[in-house]
Chains A and B, each alone.
Chain A
Amino acid sequence: MSSVATDNLPKWVNFGLIPFLNLATAFIVSGLVIWSLGEDPFLAMSLLLEGAFGYGEAVSYTFYYATHFIFTGLAVSIAFRAGLFNIGGEGQAIMGGVGILLAVTIGADLPSFVLIPLAILGGAVFGGAWAAIPAYLQAKRGSHIVITTIMFNFIAASILSYLLVGPLKREGAQSPESADIPDAAKLDPLSDFFGGLGFPEGPANSSLLIALVCVFLYWLFINRTHYGFGIRIVGLNPSAARFAGISSTKVIMISMILAGAMAGLMGLNEVLGVQHRLITNFTAGFGFVGIAVAFMGRNHPVGIVLAALLFGAIYQGGAELAFEMPSVTRDLVIMIQGLVILLAGALEHIYRSPLEKIFEKFNKPSKGEG
């Protein structure tokens, strides 16, 4: 799989204009669907924007969803840099949530500054381990990673529902959920930190800061370490990597374990930040949103953050839209996600090739002068 980076286009086109055109096309198609359902697409659009940014709590929700999507976007992106299509973010996030809950349960008496790092470790280890098995099967047995990771999503979901009605069940609870986490493990809402700057109250919490640290570490790892270099080489040109003596087994294992660890940390936002317990189906398809985020953000750290914010807005706005317009359900957001993957991930040449031709024409005279 070819990942990013073609140099024939200026950066603002590659990272700005093309993603914008992809998104615009996805919105136009969605608008047509809304119109065919007998609703006004422009009203829908304004409801969506209003729902995402119109009032304080909405903004906080947008950031809360964005936090999820940074983690799952990184999970897809790291693997994709190595040429692997990780669609197991959902299962990895589930297992990460289990790891986080176990960590804070075992270390319940510890103070926050030990407990929260322990929870991060728990999420990363469980998520990473869950990704390591499909990675190993791909590297050693040639099992198709797309199929195994999706099977592992189903298996993880079953394990979670087993745990929540079995060993981890809250005593006396009717619904499948775990006991509450200790107070020391709870992550503070962002309004506690930035309330002075006008950040509104709501579900957004300090896991967003952890997510941003992960984005920085992702950049550092991919661009400044020799493991990251190996991953990029394998992703761009597997046969060149083989001739250069880069072990593909190692690259597959490292990139998938890191990807799983990132997805696993999604649980910080949900378990430590908002629910304060583990509930069934808490990943709610967020693992798949990561695919759209990675493609939309062109696997670039900044791009991933911006794309995650965008999808956070679409998710939050979409929820409000579904509330205001009963014939449009939240599933529409899933369709938009799919369209973005199609346009940004598979059909990118539809806009890229004509733009390349245009810019070639522009660039030629200036080269002649120089």
Chain B
Amino acid sequence: MEAFFFDIVLLLDSSIRLVGPLILAALAGLFAERSGVVDISLEGKMLGAAFAAAAAAAVTGSAWVGLGAGILTSIALALLHGFVSITHRGEQIVSGMAINIVVAGLAPVLANSWFHLNGQTPLLDESQRFTSITLPGVEVMSNVPVVGTLYVEVISGHNLLTYVAIALVPLSAWVLYKTRFGLRLRAVGENPSAVDTAGISVIWLRYQAMIVAGVLCGVAGTSLSTALGAGFIRDMSAGKGFLALAAMIFGRWMPVPTLLACLLFAFSDALQGRLQGVELPVVGVISVQFIMMLPYVVTVIALAGFVGHIRPPAASGKPFVRSR
């Protein structure tokens, strides 16, 4: 029983660790789609930011400069997507996929040319990364059974960006539901003509959403390469942008349910790591390849089985054309 409890604690701990980039990217997708722009370039933005952050941190020695570089790169990509989707009214899904592929090619080219490490960036040491933070009160809490253990092992000891990511969930909900910007953003995703009639610029609102998405994906990518990892590796986003998109749909374009969906996916990812090589009752040891597909299978099942009636923002994916 003791061992089982400890297993669960460890699993929850790695779920929280893994959920950071997912929820950030999912919130990015949420802001974009709530404004009426479908964004499947979350993956590319994360990868671009992961590369820029790792490269900048390696050169300057500061994780904070890395964060800045990651965010700027991601914003630039987000604006490119905005330029294609909002200004030029191009196919949004195609544009997103194109950005993913461009980044998947460009990042290793630059990495190879700058660092000569076969498409990677140099390994970052502790001082160049966002490392784990011990929350106050850990010493006191460590004596408390169960709750204390949970606090010490699960809640405390994550990197700064993870806490930022979690804090951004209620903040996003507040922005979306309680501020003027949020109201306008939701309106522009549902009925852009009405927003236009009210004399508010649809274009500018959607670009603002792109910038928000850029910042969020920038933090997500930075956390991949400078917090969870210690440097940029080719294709290190490994489909997380698409998992995030699935989480956003599963969470029905609402921040808190999206967080829960991200936790589910992160948990299945943590479970995947934990189950490798473990002897299970009845089935025995499952091949590592099957275990590794767990997060992707869970995503497909979640999208197919439990979503129920989904209703995306009415104008999402549709370019705005002012009617005369």
Contacts and interface: CB of A to CB of B under 8 A. Distances in A.
Contacts of A21: none
B303 A144 contact: yes
Interface string A325-336: 001110111111
Nearest to A340: B98
A338 interface: yes
B31 to A, nearest CB: 18
B97 A350 contact: no
A203 B90 CA distance: 39
B159 interface: no
A295 B101 CA distance: 14
B300 A335 contact: no
Interface stretch (B54-62, B68-76, B187-195, B241-249): B241-249
Contacts of A347: 84, 88, 90, 95
Contact of B296 (A85, A151, A345): A151
Interface string A23-42: 00000000001000110000
Q: Across chains A and B, which 9 residue pairs bring their CB atoms closest together, nearest first?
A: A334-B105, A335-B105, A338-B102, A338-B101, A162-B289, A342-B98, A346-B90, A346-B95, A341-B98
Interface residues on B, range: 35 or more
A291 B300 CA distance: 22
B94 A335 contact: no
Interface stretch (B144-152, B210-218, B221-229, B304-312): B304-312
Interface of B: 40, 84-85, 88-95, 97-110, 112-113, 119, 234, 238-239, 242, 245-246, 249, 287, 289-290, 292-293, 296-297, 299-300, 303-305, 307, 310
Nearest to B100: A338
A349 B88 contact: yes
Contact of B98 (A37, A154, A338): A338
Contact of B290 (A162, A291, A350): A162
A146 interface: yes
A141 interface: yes
Given A85-B94, A155-B293, A329-B112, A338 B300 contact: no
Given A1-B91, A142-B310, A158 B290 contact: yes
Contacts, number: 155
Nearest to A151: B296
A35 to B, nearest CB: 12
A348 interface: yes
A223 interface: no
A246 interface: no
B288 to A, nearest CB: 8
Given A158-B292, A338-B100, A141 B91 contact: no
A291 B289 CA distance: 28
B91 A345 contact: yes
A137 interface: yes
Given A85-B97, A147-B299, A151-B242, A142 B307 contact: yes
Given A335-B102, A337-B101, A338-B101, 4 more contacts: A85-B93, A341-B94, A346-B88, A346-B98
B108 A331 contact: yes
A148 B245 CA distance: 11
Contacts of B242: 146-147, 150-151
A348 B289 CA distance: 41
Contacts of B113: 37-38, 327-328
A143 interface: yes
Nearest to B40: A146
Contacts of B108: 329, 331
A33 B94 contact: no
A334 B97 CA distance: 12
Max chain B C-beta neighbours (<10 A), residue from A148, A158, A165, A288: A158
Interface in A73-116: 85, 87
Max chain B C-beta neighbours (<10 A), residue from A2, A292, A337: A337
Nearest to A162: B289
A10 interface: no
Interface residues on A, range: 35 or more
A346 B239 contact: no
Contact of A342 (B95, B107, B119, B245): B95
Interface string A1-14: 11000000000000
Contacts of B98: 338-339, 341-342, 345-346
B106 A144 contact: no
A147 B42 CA distance: 12
Max chain B C-beta neighbours (<10 A), residue from A87, A295, A338, A345: A338
A338 B99 contact: yes
A161 interface: yes
6 contacts: A137-B304, A150-B242, A151-B246, A291-B101, A331-B119, A349-B89
Nearest to A137: B304
Given A150-B239, A152-B300, A158-B290, A337 B94 contact: no
A214 B303 CA distance: 33
Contacts of A166: 287
Contacts of B119: 329, 331
Nearest to B91: A346
A209 interface: no
A288 B94 CA distance: 12
A159 interface: yes
Contacts of B91: 1-2, 345-346
B101 A143 contact: no
B94 A345 contact: yes
Contact of A155 (B246, B297, B303, B305): B297
Contacts of A165: 289
B97 A291 contact: yes
B120 to A, nearest CB: 12
Given A150-B242, A331-B108, A346-B91, A141 B101 contact: no
Given A147-B246, A151-B299, A342-B95, A334 B88 contact: no
A197 to B, nearest CB: 36
